[in-house]
Amino acid sequence: MRMRSTWIGAGLLGLALAAPGTGAADAPVSRGEEVYAARCKECHESGDERVPQRDTLARKTPAEIVAAMTGGPMTPMAEGLTPEDKQAVAAFLTGH
């Protein structure tokens, strides 16, 4: 009986690991990603040469991104964002 339970448990584990919708791609969207998608993506993924694209932003430090939103060129676009939202966007973009 113990051997049968082991096989059943292993089978259930295999099904759980192979089940669709359980991978990292289905992880909840982060607050930074949510804000970025709503407020930043349209320009920063447009291909417009006048705007730093997302890959360029990813090479900046979180502090540089927050500074651009609090006292730099992105201040008007970041109006209404909380300091936590700005930090979340910076963390999303830089991975830090």
Query: Which pLDDT score, from 0 to 100, does residue 79 have?
Result: 97
Q: Which helix (H) or strand (E) holds 65?
A: helix 62-70
| pTM for this predicted structure | 0.71
Compute the distance between CA of residue 45 and CA of residue 53 in angstroms, rounded to an integer.
6
Query: Which pLDDT score, from 0 to 100, does residue 28 have?
Result: 75
- Residue with more model confidence, 96 or 7: 96
Encoded amino acid at 47, one letter: G
Q: Give the architecture (CATH level 2) of 30-96.
A: Orthogonal Bundle (1.10)
pLDDT tens digits for range 18-43: 444 444 556 678 999 999 999 999 99
Q: Where are the domains of the chain?
A: 30-96
Close Cβ partners of 92 (under 8 Å, ≥ 6 residues apart): 30, 32, 33, 35, 36
pLDDT tens digits for range 44-90: 999 999 999 999 999 999 999 999 999 999 999 999 999 999 999 99
* Token pair listed for 56: 């360029």
